[in-house]
């Protein structure tokens, strides 16, 4: 065997091992929920919230700042524009929103990984936005483009992650006004899953679309959605020029946006869940309707990022019950609007991936999965209120996402699933380990975690009494070592790199 063949064989072996280590094999590119929805809010309360949101839109209104074009669009559409404050006659926004699709396909460069966002589907994406990264052996430091690539690679390798996401961490080592090229390119190069575009400036959104046109072809992009990008509302009740610019760019290009009220209740919204959801609904309706004014039929997601506030420290808190109530009600409202819905995933305030991190993340992920969220951002890696992308937490969280996939698939009530033959064969007082049914399902019967230690105490002690973080650190290293990039057409790769080089040379670096 040549050295190259040996390397290749080793790579193959490592890749298979890494694949085995992952969650139960995922054959689908996203989850199709097959269990009934969890809906925590009564219809009566939902109707109160809808009526109140209408009142907010009509009486108080929403501000659209520093964007005369948007104000003009609203005026033309029949809204009451008073300075930057826009008020909406009752029913107007619902009428505009009616053209928004209830679900849409976001194409991936590997068509087997296309995701359908909306309906009964759930798509998991990684953490978005942290300026810092943390590893258990390297500590906490600013993120770099190498970290960014690493998280893209980890997300690519994880069957439970369906979407490559966006700012998996901020590559702080690159100039602010140019880092989007490297970020978008990394998603395109190191993964073949669908991804998100830049939103920090309208030009950067336009660059994202241009790069998509190189990757997917200009005609294809004109007719299909190839990126989904994140438009945060400046809650309470303000859209700023940056987000409006990106919104317009993507909507005009028929590319999906997620309109996301970003509410720390008590600071950017009322302290009560019903109040928070009311404000979020009003904010989201305005943004969703705006996308439909710009291009009727353009795909748009009703998003929500909601946390409580520590009334002692003023810091956001996660994994507490109030945001769960907010999330369930918002998901119900989105379904009534026939819109896809987005929320957060494995959120926490913990500084390290310890028990607090896990409790909070599980408390955030459960409602996201059970209440029927269609696009779950921050599904893996989120730490410290979103300030940190954690490598170890990333692999811990993808294990949890894999479990949610099995849970949402629900019951197998076929003859085989009923297992009556097994019960008959075994009978009272005997054990099922050796029976034909158990043997037939031995490999796949139960979700297998690669993070959890299920050994005896004695064996665990013998192996060094290692905690979850230490085991996760091993997994990160093994995954990174066995990463094999998905093939990318060389001509396209060169075209992308040439586009980036030309663009980067055309204006000076800046950190704004």
Q: Which CB, 51 or 98, lies closer to a copy of itself?
A: 51
Count of other CB atoms within 10 angstroms of residue 415: 9
Q: Of 173, 354, 474, 495, which one interacts with a copy of itself (CB under 8 A)?
A: 354
Q: Which of residues 437-456 bind a copy of itself (CB under 8 A)?
A: 437-438, 441-443, 445-449, 451-456
Shortest distance (Å) from residue 390 CB to a copy of itself: 11
Please tell me whether residue 220 binds a copy of itself under the rule CB under 8 A: no
Q: Which CB, 89 or 410, lies closer to a copy of itself?
A: 410
Cα→Cα distances 358→149, 353, 465, 473, 474, Å = 25, 7, 19, 16, 18
8-state DSSP, 80: E
Residue 410 φ/ψ region, left for φ over 0, alpha for ψ in the -120 to 50 degree band, beta for the rest: left
Q: Which of residues 416-435 bind a copy of itself (CB under 8 A)?
A: 416-420, 422-424, 426-433
Closest CA to 139 of 396, 479, 471, 392: 392
The 50-89 contact track toward a copy of itself, x by CB under 8 A, reads --x--xx--xxxxx---------------------x----
Cα(249)–Cα(231) distance, rounded to whole angstroms?
11
Q: Which of residues 181-210 bind a copy of itself (CB under 8 A)?
A: none
Q: Of 131, 234, 295, 480, which one interacts with a copy of itself (CB under 8 A)?
A: 234
Check if the beta carbon of residue 141 is closer than 8 Å to that of residue 388.
no
Shortest distance (Å) from residue 57 CB to a copy of itself: 11
Q: Of 11, 94, 351, 503, which one interacts with a copy of itself (CB under 8 A)?
A: 351
Q: Which CB, 170 or 322, lies closer to a copy of itself?
A: 322
Count of other CB atoms within 10 angstroms of residue 267: 14
Q: Which CB, 219 or 457, lies closer to a copy of itself?
A: 457
Total residues binding a copy of itself (CB under 8 A): 127
Q: Which of residues 275-294 bind a copy of itself (CB under 8 A)?
A: 275-276, 278-279
Shortest distance (Å) from residue 464 CB to a copy of itself: 11
Q: How far apart are the first and last CA of the chain?
A: 53
Closest CA to 123 of 316, 377, 325, 318: 377
Q: Which of residues 294-323 bind a copy of itself (CB under 8 A)?
A: 308-317, 319-322
Shortest distance (Å) from residue 448 CB to a copy of itself: 8
Check if the beta carbon of residue 341 is closer than 8 Å to that of residue 303.
yes
Q: Which of residues 365-384 bind a copy of itself (CB under 8 A)?
A: 366, 370, 384
Cα(357)–Cα(361) distance, rounded to whole angstroms?
6
Q: Is 301 helix (H, G, I), strand (E, B) or coil?
A: strand
Q: Of 166, 303, 353, 379, which one interacts with a copy of itself (CB under 8 A)?
A: 353
Check if the beta carbon of residue 282 is closer than 8 Å to that of residue 94.
no
Nearby residues of 147 by Cβ (< 8 Å), 6 or more positions away: 133, 169, 171, 389
Q: Of 26, 357, 475, 479, which one interacts with a copy of itself (CB under 8 A)?
A: 357
Please tell me whether residue 176 binds a copy of itself under the rule CB under 8 A: no
Edge to edge, what strands does the sheet with 80-82 contain?
A: 80-82, 85-87, 62-64, 238-239
Please tell me whether residue 272 binds a copy of itself under the rule CB under 8 A: yes
């Amino acid at each position: 065997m040549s050295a190259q063949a040996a390397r290749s064989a080793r790579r193959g072996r490592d890749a298979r091992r890494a694949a085995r280590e992952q969650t139960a094999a995922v054959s689908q590119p996203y989850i199709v929920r097959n269990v009934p929805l969890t809906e925590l809010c009564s219809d009566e309360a939902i109707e109160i919230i809808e009526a109140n949101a209408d009142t907010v839109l009509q009486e108080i209104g929403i501000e659209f700042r520093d964007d005369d074009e948007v104000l003009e669009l609203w005026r033309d559409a029949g809204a009451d524009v008073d300075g930057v404050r826009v008020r909406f006659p009752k029913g107007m926004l619902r009428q505009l929103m009616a053209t928004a699709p209830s679900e849409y396909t976001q194409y991936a460069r590997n068509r087997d990984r296309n995701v359908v966002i909306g309906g009964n589907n759930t798509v998991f994406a990684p953490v978005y936005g942290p300026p810092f990264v943390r590893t258990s052996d390297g500590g906490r430091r600013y993120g770099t483009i190498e970290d960014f690539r690493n998280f893209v690679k980890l997300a690519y390798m994880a069957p439970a992650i369906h979407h490559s996401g966006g700012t998996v961490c901020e590559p702080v080592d690159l100039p602010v006004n140019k880092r989007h090229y490297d970020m978008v390119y990394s998603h395109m190069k190191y993964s073949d899953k669908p991804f998100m575009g830049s939103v920090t400036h309208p030009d950067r959104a336009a660059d994202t679309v241009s790069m998509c046109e190189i990757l997917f072809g200009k005609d294809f992009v004109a007719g299909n959605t190839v990126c989904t990008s994140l438009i945060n509302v400046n809650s309470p009740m303000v859209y700023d020029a940056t987000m409006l610019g990106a919104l317009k760019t993507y909507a005009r290009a028929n590319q999906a946006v997620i309109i996301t009220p970003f509410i720390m209740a008590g600071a950017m919204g009322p302290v009560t869940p019903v109040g928070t959801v009311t404000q979020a609904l009003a904010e989201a309706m305005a943004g969703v309707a705006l996308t439909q004014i710009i291009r009727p039929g353009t795909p748009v997601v009703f998003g929500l990022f909601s946390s409580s506030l520590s009334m002692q420290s003023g810091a956001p808190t996660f994994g507490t019950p109030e945001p769960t109530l907010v999330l369930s009600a918002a998901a119900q409202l989105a379904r009534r609007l026939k819109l896809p819905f987005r929320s957060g995933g494995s959120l926490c305030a913990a500084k390290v991936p310890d028990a607090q991190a896990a409790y909070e993340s599980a408390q955030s992920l459960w409602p996201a999965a059970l209440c029927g969220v269609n696009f779950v951002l921050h599904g893996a890696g989120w730490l410290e209120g979103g300030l940190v992308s954690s490598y170890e937490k990333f692999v811990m969280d993808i294990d949890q996402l894999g479990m949610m996939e099995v849970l949402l698939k629900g019951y197998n009530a076929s003859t085989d699933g009923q297992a009556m033959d097994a019960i008959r064969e075994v009978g009272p007082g005997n054990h099922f380990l050796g029976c034909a049914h158990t043997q037939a399902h031995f490999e796949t019967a139960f979700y297998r975690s690669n993070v959890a230690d299920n050994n005896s105490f004695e064996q665990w002690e013998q192996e060094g009494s290692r905690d979850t973080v230490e085991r996760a650190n091993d997994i990160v290293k093994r995954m990174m070592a066995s990463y094999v990039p998905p093939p990318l057409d060389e001509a396209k790769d060169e075209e992308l790199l040439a586009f980036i080089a030309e663009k980067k040379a055309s204006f000076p670096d800046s950190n704004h």
